[in-house]
Structure 1
Amino acid sequence: MIQNILEVALNNNYNLSDIANLISNLTSNLSDILLNTSNKTLIVSQVDPNWFYSASAQSAATIVGLMGAFTTTKLINYKSFVNQLQKEIAEYKIKIDHLKKEIETKNTYIREYNYKMEIKLVNKFLGFIAFEINPDKPYSLDELYAMTQNNLDYLQFENIDKTILAEKYNEEYLSDVRNLHEFPDTAEPLVKKNEGNKYELKKHQTNLEVVVEKKAERSYYKSLLINKQHMLASKKEVMGLRDNLGSLFIFSLTGIFLPLFMMLCSNETMTQYRNITYIFIFGGWILIIGQLYSSVIGLFKDNN
Structure 2
Amino acid sequence: MENNIQETILNNSLNSNNITNITNHASHLIEKSSFYFLNTSNITHFVSQVDPNWFYSASAQSAATIVGLMGAFLTTKVLNQKSYLKQLKNDISELEQKKEHVSTEIQNIKEKQTNLLTNKEVELCKKINPSFTPSILPDYDLQRIEKSEGGKNILEKLTKYREYDDVIISKKGEQLFLNNLLTYKKEQVITKEDFSNSKVHFINLVIFSIIGVFAPLFMMLLDFETMIKYRVAVFILILCGWVIILYSLISEIKNLRD
| Bin for the TM-score computed over the shorter chain | 0.7 to 0.9
Distance 2:17 2:158 in 1: 123
Alpha-carbon distance in 1 for matches of 2:187, 2:241: 34
In 2 relative to 1, CA 42–203 (structure 1 residues): closer, same or farther, beyond 3 Å? farther
Q: 1:238-249 maps to which residues of 2 (within 5 A)?
A: 238-249=195-206
Cα offset for 1:100? 0.4
Unaligned runs of 5+ in 1: 1-6, 126-155, 162-191
| Cα deviation 1:11-63 (Å, max 9, x = unaligned) | 436999x998776544333334xx227xx978645432233222211221111
Aligned residues: 228
CA separation of 1:13 and 1:218: change in aligned 2, threshold 3 A: closer
1:78–1:237 CA contact under 8 A, matched in 2 = no
- Secondary structure of the structure 1 residue equivalent to 2:195: helix
Q: How does 1:12-31 map to 2 (within 5 A)?
A: 12=20, 24-31=31-38
What are structure 2's unaligned runs of at least 5 residues? 1-14, 134-147
* The structure with more helix, counted as a fraction of residues: 2
Asked if 1:36 is matched to 2:41, the reply is: yes
1:96 CA displacement: 0.2
Report the TM-score, using the length of structure 1 for normalisation. 0.64
| Aligned partner of residue 294 in structure 1, secondary structure | helix
Q: Does 2:76 correspond to 1:120?
A: no
RMSD of aligned alpha carbons: 3.2
Counterpart residue number, 1:257? 214
Please tell me the residue identity of whatever aligns with 2:38: S
Whether the 8 Å contact between 2:48 and 2:228 is mirrored in structure 1 is: no
Which of 213, 221, 244 aligns to 1:287? It is 244
Equivalence for 1:194 = 150
TM-score (norm 2): 0.75
CA 1:19–1:225 in structure 2 vs 1: closer, same or farther (change >3 Å)? closer
Q: CA deviation at 1:235?
A: 5.2
Distance change (3 Å), C-alpha of 1:104 and 1:66: same
Corresponding letter in the other structure for 1:204: Y
- 2:70 — aligned with what? 67
* Identical columns (%): 36
Larger radius of gyration: 1
Aligned to 1:277: 234
**Distance of aligned partners of 1:93 and 1:278 in 2 relative to their CA distance in 1, 3 Å threshold:** same
Instruction: Name the CA distance, whole Å, in 1 between partners of 2:23 and 2:56.
Output: 50
